[in-house]
Amino acid sequence: MQNEPLELGEISFSSWYAHTDKMAEVGFLTIARRLPSLVGQAMRMAWQASPRDALATVALNLLGGVFTAFGLLATTGVLTALFSEGPTPGRVMAALPGLALVAGAAVLRTATQAGAGWAQSRLTPQIARLTEERLYGLTSQVELVAYDDPDFHDAMERAGSRGVSMASSVVTSAVDTVTAAVGIVAAAGVLGVLHPVLLPLLLLAVLPDAWAAVRSARMRYSTMYALIPARRRKWIIGQLLAEREPAAEVRAFTMRGFLLRMYDAVARAEQDVMLGLARRQMAARLVGEALGGLGTALVYVALGVLLAVAAIPLAVAGTAVLAIRSGQTSLGNLMYATNRLYEEGLYFTDFLDFCAEAERRLTVPRPAPAPEGFECVTASEVTFTYPGASAPALRGVSIEIKQGEVIAFVGENGSGKTTLAKILSGLYEPDTGTVRWDDTDLRQVSPEALRLRTAVIAQDHTRWPLTARYNITMGTGKGEPALHAAAAVAGADEVIAGLPHGYRTLLDRRFKDGHELSGGQWQRIAVARGFHRDADLLICDEPTAALDARAEHALFERIRHHADGRTVLLITHRLASVRYADRIYVLDHGRITEQGDHDTLMSLDGLYADLYTLQATAYR
């Protein structure tokens, strides 16, 4: 039904303006006070990227301002000589020394500005690299549970989509602001020397433009802030329409029209918001320009009055005109740079705020070394709730895993099996309760060190766009024997043998000479990845989901063989595969309801027996 109303989840058009950013409420003076902080943040970022280029940029721009002021003052001498009495050749000859000074100042100003531009252009790529490395360094290090928090996702979207790209722009705008401010100081200094009345009138001419620029920036930022959830939704829908992975189902279920309607609904609403923004910005700009024109007229009227009453000579008036024009040009540049700096600075602040929030989500340094293996892993009264969830995923769970055992977690979807496995492997930390390897509380151990002792074979494994070798080794350097042994145990060696370049084959068809694997082949690569880690604790979370019956049976045989002397935690819905586990824990709504070996659980005639019987009946 083409006219059926669309359900867009968190995106309801009436709520797009509900998130009004606090910066949209501040006044001009608050913004003026905030700009030095933005300039300081940008300069610190530039200094971190390249102290030499940052220092050269600032120093050369300051020198350019000095030469501008010197050239304006030298102009007074030139005009005085030209407007004096006497023959024209004599006046021209008298003006030549001043003209030489003006020309020299212009050459030096041009040279310093060119040098500042060169240093500034060197800063841009260095700042981009620095900010990207900082962002990705934090996003790859924060606690995993942060990715289950929608607020964290929104903050990361703001930081990644605009914050990172704005970092170098903020530095550029900050330098432009400083440069324009230096030009204004130079022009204002000259005007102050010529006549004090001219300086406040010059400010009157440009303050309306400043108000319009700042107001326009506030409007744009608050609108962009409110549109972030909508743009995320539009981007996700766009990926569904353009990415390879969903392409088959989009066609099989004829979803093209439906997805395009959904995309168009979000895009049109976003378009309406942006058109409204353009209309409001234009109104603010027109008001600012009208008031600015009135202020400029007052400046020239005042200059004419000063000439009429002989308060200043004609040569000084001529210099004042040049100084006013220079000051207005610098003020125009300042308004443009300030507008950009303020607007880009809001996004840059998003980046800084996200980095600060991500740093708060990092695990604090922990003193205890990772245990060298274990005799027993115990979880005691573990509870865990996902961010924003109304109910805990785990409720007072206690289990025990002894070294060398094969342990199975069984339960229906949503019972907490995978969550518990992630807590045991150090990917999540429990809200309450403890997890110990022997006597070592894992809260005292670095998660990174603990993860080197564990390996996870996940059902939703990542299909890395890397070579087959790196898809198994994950960048570790254990040598060829370890690589081939892991591939053989997982049955991935047969997959590798069929690739055109063996272990050097790139497993991503989006790239030249890339190769694609089937779901079952990818599953074997993922299993080999887990075996290659040769960890103290191997967690297999639905490791056979993409395998046929024969391959599944062969893989479980390999896991049992590989588990000789190792500890394996098996999570699966295929209960025939857990019959030989040393102990089976049955989870139901976040609680352990049954435990024991297969025969014990069957005799209890509980949830496990019910699930096992249902599956067994299907094969009879």
**Cβ 506 vs Cβ 467: under 8 Å:** yes
Averaged pLDDT of the chain: 79
At 612 the pLDDT is: 85
Q: How far apart are CA 27 and CA 25, in angstroms?
A: 7
Torsion angles phi and psi, residue 96, rounded to 5? -60, -45
Find the mean pLDDT for residues 378-383.
92
Q: How far apart are CA 498 and CA 358, in angstroms?
A: 43
Q: What is the pLDDT of residues 211-244, one digit of tens each?
A: 676 677 667 767 777 777 777 778 888 888 888 7
Q: What is the pTM for the complete model shown?
A: 0.67
Domains and CATH numbers, the chain: 15-360 (1.20.1560.10), 376-618 (3.40.50.300)
Q: What is the pLDDT of residues 331-362, one digit of tens each?
A: 767 777 776 777 777 778 888 888 888 888 88
Q: How far apart are CA 41 and CA 348, in angstroms?
A: 9
- Is 378's pLDDT higher than 50? yes
Hey, what are 279's tokens?
């209309």
Q: How far apart are CA 214 and CA 212, in angstroms?
A: 6
Q: How far apart are CA 551 and CA 547, in angstroms?
A: 6
- Is 92's pLDDT higher than 90? no
What's the half-sphere exposure (Cβ side, CA atoms, 13 Å) at 476?
14
At 17 the pLDDT is: 36
At 84 the pLDDT is: 63
At 62 the pLDDT is: 80
Q: How far apart are CA 58 and CA 119, in angstroms?
A: 9
Confidence category of residue 595, pLDDT binned at 50, 70, 90: very high
Hey, what are 595's tokens?
């435990």
Using CA of residue 475, residue 478, residue 479, residue 481, what is the dihedral sign? Answer: negative
At 399 the pLDDT is: 92
- Is 64's pLDDT higher than 50? yes
Using CA of residue 608, residue 611, residue 614, residue 620, what is the dihedral sign? Answer: negative
Q: How far apart are CA 199 and CA 190, in angstroms?
A: 9
Q: How far apart are CA 253 and CA 230, in angstroms?
A: 25
Q: Torsion angle of alpha carbons 588, 592, 598, 600, nearest 10°? A: -120
Block residue for tokens 């030095």: 36
